[in-house]
């Protein structure tokens, strides 16, 4: 089994004053809270047991929004990150939740979209004895963590914002690991930024030649919503896709329904609760158009 962690902590300082009174991952991306998008990625990977890690002052808002996950056919639990001490800390906070299982970590401010995304995610979730990171081609690799890899998609190097990148593929905020990641995270030392870096974990898998790279090619979108410009661009992207195609992105109720995690009756109940807005009408239209 693979479990999922959404890291939704942090200060959101690049979005001040928007995030002075609310968690960044509760801000809207067009018609849905930002956190719906990473949760949808876990669901598309067939991950039903999810841990949301957030700051103590935001915990109740997440519980109010998501509950225990039952309405989405999943299980959602919660944990606190007292201060943002780095991405790798998620595995220490979530060690009891992970138990003896594999785990996927997705950052709460990353959005992924593209054709055949589900099979890529499902393959990563079932891959044994390796870690999997997702790479995306960018025109300015020096501004990202960069991964190079061989013809078998095994990572050869990882560089953090290099002046001379060895590739043009950025490492995205989506990581799949086997269970050994928990013990690896325990051994990670704080960086110069005094944070437990996810790159330190990836470097260990890299040295052992156990770091697989899944490439998100042409037609895929990877959006980071860390500042106000990116936040607006992400909303415009989602609005365009949904308006042109008529299909919603990251509609958690739809994903659960199509995977038979909730019934027609349960989907209808969810739609009726919000039937006066477009989101509710979309849910009810799914049932109407069922073949």
Q: Give tens-digit pLDDT for 21-77.
A: 999 999 999 999 999 999 999 999 999 999 999 999 999 999 999 999 999 999 999
State whether 30 and 121 are in the same domain.
yes
State whether 15 and 88 are in the same domain.
yes
Separation between Cα atoms, residue 137 and residue 155, nearest integer Å: 15
Query: Does residue 255 lie in a domain region?
Result: no
Q: State yes or no: pLDDT of 153 exceeds 90.
A: yes
Separation between Cα atoms, residue 145 and residue 172, nearest integer Å: 8
State whether 276 and 244 are in the same domain.
no
Query: Does residue 229 lie in a domain region?
Result: yes
Burial zone of 164 (CB within 10 Å; 0-12 exposed, 13-18 middle, 19+ buried): exposed
Query: Does residue 117 lie in a domain region?
Result: yes
Query: Does residue 158 lie in a domain region?
Result: no
Q: Do 88 and 193 form a contact (C-beta atoms < 8 A)?
A: no
Separation between Cα atoms, residue 23 and residue 150, nearest integer Å: 39
Separation between Cα atoms, residue 70 and residue 66, nearest integer Å: 9
Query: Does residue 39 lie in a domain region?
Result: yes
State whether 188 and 273 are in the same domain.
no
Structure tokens at 245: 């195609």
Q: State yes or no: pLDDT of 192 exceeds 90.
A: no
Query: Does residue 144 lie in a domain region?
Result: no
Query: Does residue 180 lie in a domain region?
Result: yes
> Is the N-terminal amide bond of 155 cis, ω within 30° of 0?
no
Q: Give tens-digit pLDDT for 75-117.
A: 999 999 999 999 999 999 999 999 999 999 999 999 999 989 9
Q: State yes or no: pLDDT of 11 exceeds 90.
A: no
Of the candidate ranges 4-18, 232-246, 247-261, 263-277, the one whose mean pLDDT is the lowest = 4-18
Query: Does residue 276 lie in a domain region?
Result: yes
Q: Which domain range does residue 9 map to?
A: 2-127+172-198+208-248
Q: State yes or no: pLDDT of 226 exceeds 90.
A: no
Nearest Cα residue to 191 out of 121, 271, 87: 87
pLDDT band per the 50, 70, 90 thresholds, residue 224? confident
Q: State yes or no: pLDDT of 260 exceeds 90.
A: yes
| pLDDT on residue 290 | 80
Say what angle helices 117-126 and 36-44 make with each other, to 10 degrees.
70
State whether 114 and 229 are in the same domain.
yes
State whether 270 and 192 are in the same domain.
no
Domains: count for the chain:
2
Structure tokens at 43: 């669901």
CA angle 170, 176, 220 (to 5 degrees): 45
State whether 60 and 91 are in the same domain.
yes
State whether 270 and 185 are in the same domain.
no
CATH number at residue 24: 3.90.550.10
Average confidence score pLDDT of the chain: 96
Q: State yes or no: pLDDT of 13 exceeds 80.
A: yes
State whether 19 and 68 are in the same domain.
yes
Q: Give tens-digit pLDDT for 244-256.
A: 999 999 999 999 9
The pTM score is 0.97
Q: How far is CA 19 from CA 28, 38, 107, 276, 282, in A?
A: 12, 19, 17, 29, 29
State whether 85 and 118 are in the same domain.
yes
State whether 81 and 182 are in the same domain.
yes
| pLDDT on residue 193 | 86
| pLDDT on residue 291 | 62
State whether 83 and 177 are in the same domain.
yes
């Amino acid at each position: 089994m693979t479990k999922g962690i959404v890291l939704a902590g942090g200060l959101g300082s690049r979005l001040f004053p928007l995030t002075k009174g609310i968690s960044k991952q509760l801000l809207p991306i067009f018609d849905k809270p930002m956190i719906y998008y990473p949760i949808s990625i876990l669901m598309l990977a067939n991950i039903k047991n999810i841990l949301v890690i957030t700051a103590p002052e935001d915990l109740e808002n997440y519980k109010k929004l998501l509950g225990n996950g039952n309405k989405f056919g999943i299980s959602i639990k919660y944990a606190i990150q007292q201060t943002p001490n780095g991405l790798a800390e998620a595995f220490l906070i979530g060690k009891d939740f992970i138990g003896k299982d594999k785990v996927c970590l997705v950052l709460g401010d990353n959005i992924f979209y593209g054709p055949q995304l589900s099979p890529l995610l499902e393959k990563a979730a079932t891959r044994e004895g390796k870690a999997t990171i997702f790479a995306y081609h960018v025109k300015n690799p020096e501004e990202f963590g960069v991964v190079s890899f061989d013809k078998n998609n095994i990572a050869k190097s990882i560089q953090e914002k290099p002046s001379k990148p060895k590739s043009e593929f950025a490492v995205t905020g989506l990581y799949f690991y086997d269970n050994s990641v928990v013990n690896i995270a325990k051994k990670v030392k704080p960086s110069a930024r005094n944070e437990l870096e996810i790159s330190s974990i990836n470097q260990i898998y890299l040295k052992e030649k156990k770091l697989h790279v899944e490439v998100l090619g042409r037609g895929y979108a990877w959006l980071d919503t860390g500042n106000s410009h990116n936040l607006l661009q992400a909303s415009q992207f989602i609005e365009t896709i949904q308006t042109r195609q008529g299909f919603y992105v990251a509609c958690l109720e739809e994903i659960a329904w199509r995977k038979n995690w909730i019934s027609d009756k349960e989907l209808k109940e969810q739609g009726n609760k919000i039937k006066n807005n477009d989101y509710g009408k979309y849910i009810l239209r799914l049932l109407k158009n069922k073949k």
